[in-house]
Amino acid sequence: MASFRALRSQYASLLKQFAASTKEFEVLATVPTDHAPPPKILYVLDSSFNPPTRAHLRIASSALLEKLEPGSRLLLLLATQNADKPSKPAPFEDRLAMMELFAHDVRSHLAARDPSVSASSMEHIPTIDIAVTKKPYFIDKAAAIEASDHYPSPLEQVHLTGYDTLIRIFNPKYYPPEHTLQPLSALFSQHRLRVTLRPGDDWGNREEQESFVDSLARGDRDSEGAQREWAQKIQLIEGRKPDDPPVSSTRAREAAQSAPQDLEWLIPDHVRQFVISETPYSTESPGTKI
Ligand SMILES: Nc1ncnc2c1ncn2[C@@H]1O[C@H](COP(=O)(O)OP(=O)(O)OP(=O)(O)O)[C@@H](O)[C@H]1O
Ligand SMILES: NC(=O)c1ccc[n+]([C@@H]2O[C@H](COP(=O)(O)O)[C@@H](O)[C@H]2O)c1
């Protein structure tokens, strides 16, 4: 693995080229770098990766472990433009460096759970792509991935999100000018969502979250332009256990500043080494405001 400084400068220059290009989506790196078989299914984890957390690790690895196949590929996708949040530290090159380290965390985690993997052979462990997009909305991200010559076509995408993101995908305010849910039909005609429940004060308890898909299947969102069949394309997954503390990137950024001992349970090993050594969230880093 390259040094942290080398990783960061490699991504800084790739980002510059991407920003100056007319491309909407680009794969910047692949872990491992050697030739991988063409994917048969693409799991997409879109995130701000600021930083990648153990919640992201669980979301990605539980999807891949459900059916560990050579044709499964994971795509870690960083949107350089967010639908709602303004950009804040860490800089994108630091996040991309952390995504690559996170890819190693995911592969180690999968290897530890697959009895057929020996220390010397990771060949059955899925390949992980690290990519950027200029598109903030899922319908456009999915279309940009479809249009990319990096992948065979057609290729089913399974977007890995949390419940809070599902709610926002189904908010008509994001789909001007009509502001209906009809544009989502392009996403659900070919692709799926695998949604991890995120019970808490902000998004309702577990039962309320589980009822979202039932309500869609009953036709409660028909008047907004939704289709009942979409419910079959949304798989809900158990999140953290009720007694486990909630994990989020916000919490990890706070811990980096004031409770570094918490980083151990908040972020996975390779990412943690970067955060401790490079201090991207230190109060002294330029413009840091968590
Ligand atoms: N603890 C969690 N449980 C379920 N889903 C999660 C969890 N953490 C993140 N996700 C999901 O992972 C995706 C990417 O997450 P994101 O980068 O927004 O992390 P975050 O922890 O919510 O960030 P921040 O705290 O900076 O707002 C989103 O779809 C989000 O819903
Ligand atoms: N309707 C949509 O497709 C929609 C709405 C809100 C957020 N998003 C995206 O979801 C991802 C996660 O968002 P947050 O980092 O704000 O939790 C981001 O890439 C964001 O741009 C998409």
Question: 28 is in which domain, residue-wise?
Answer: 4-242
User: Does residue 85 line the site of ligand 2, with CB under 6 A?
Assistant: yes
Question: What is the per-residue pLDDT for 151?
Answer: 96
Residue 114 Cα to ligand 1 middle (Å): 26
Number of structural domains (the chain) is: 1
Nearest CA to ligand 1 atom 19: 249
Considering every ligand atom shown, identify the ligand nearest to the alpha carbon of residue 77 and give its number.
Answer: 2
Residue 275 Cα to ligand 1 middle (Å): 18
pTM of this prediction?
A: 0.95
Question: What is the per-residue pLDDT for 187?
Answer: 98
- Domain-located, residue 251: no
- Domain-located, residue 275: no
- Domain-located, residue 287: no
pLDDT along the chain (290 residues), means of 10: 89 96 97 89 97 98 89 95 78 97 97 72 88 97 96 97 96 97 98 93 85 97 98 94 90 96 98 97 64
- Domain-located, residue 132: yes
Question: What is the per-residue pLDDT for 242?
Answer: 79
CA trace torsion 30, 288, 201, 160 (10° rounding): -10
- Domain-located, residue 69: yes
- Domain-located, residue 258: no
- Domain-located, residue 47: yes
Read off the CATH number of the domain in which 87 is found.
3.40.50.620
- Domain-located, residue 101: yes
